[in-house]
């Protein structure tokens, strides 16, 4: 059972699914800057393009090009900046 | 400008975008077997899970686990079989 999610007036959209009991999504972040809050811990893998990420509590932006991943603690959040629409794969840990 | 696509009664869903003038999508194929027709040639990369693929005109099913890609000619098609929901990245070539 797939589920379409839309955030930030459709500027971030994903398709959620469950495999082997774990929730995952694939999605796209359009050009812009957005803040996400995490409930569960999650691992984000950039599939196409590149994201700049600043984890809550940090002042440093870090670049994550396609093929790289970052993890975010639960009950936390992160800023994300995309200069071109960027595809990602998100795993809830 | 992102675009949500839904096929096969919602059993295949994707989010389409354009980067550097090229059309791409990320999406999910739910458990089942489906046939896709191609207009443009495309490259499919499995992001999470595994797909079995049979290109039109072939009798052979081939397995594509996460991290692998296959290409399909334009004006052609392929059968796809997923035993668990599987995430993909599609580039129109």
Residues 6+ apart with CB under 8 A from A67: A45, A46
Average pLDDT over residues A26-30: 98
Q: Say whether residue B2 is in contact with chain A using an 8 A CB cutoff.
A: yes
Q: CATH no. for residue B60?
A: 2.60.120.10
Q: Which domain holds residue A11?
A: 3-92
> Residues of chain A with pLDDT > 70: what percent?
100
Question: How many other C-beta atoms can be found within 10 angstroms of the C-beta atom of residue B41?
Answer: 14
For chain A, the domain total comes to 1
Q: What is the ipTM of this complex?
A: 0.95
| Tens of each residue's pLDDT in chain B, 93 residues | 999 999 999 999 999 999 999 999 999 999 999 999 999 999 999 999 999 999 999 999 999 999 999 999 999 999 999 999 999 999 999
CB contact under 8 A, B85 and A17: yes
Q: Which residues numbered 18-77 in B keep a CB inside 8 Å of some CB on A?
A: 18-20, 24, 26-28, 30, 45, 47-49
Say how far residue B62 (Cα) sits from the centre of its chain.
14
pLDDT, residue A28, reads 98
Residue of B nearest to A46 (CA): B47
- At residue B9, φ and ψ (nearest 5 deg) are 55, 35
Looking at residue B62, its pLDDT comes to 98
Interface test with B, best of A3, A10, A28 (most B CBs within 10 A): A28
According to the model, what pLDDT value does residue A49 have? Answer: 97
The residue of chain B with its CA nearest to that of A7 is B2
A-chain CB neighbours of B47 within 8 Å are 26, 45, 47, 89
């Amino acid at each position: 059972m797939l589920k379409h999610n839309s955030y930030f007036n459709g500027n971030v959209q994903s398709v959620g699914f469950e495999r082997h009991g774990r929730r995952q999504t694939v999605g796209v972040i359009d050009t812009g800057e957005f803040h996400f809050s995490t409930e569960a811990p999650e691992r984000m893998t950039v599939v196409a393009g590149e994201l700049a990420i600043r984890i809550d509590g940090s002042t440093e932006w870090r670049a994550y090009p396609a093929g790289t991943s970052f993890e975010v603690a639960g009950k936390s959040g992160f800023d994300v900046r995309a200069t071109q629409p960027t595809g990602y794969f998100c795993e809830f840990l």
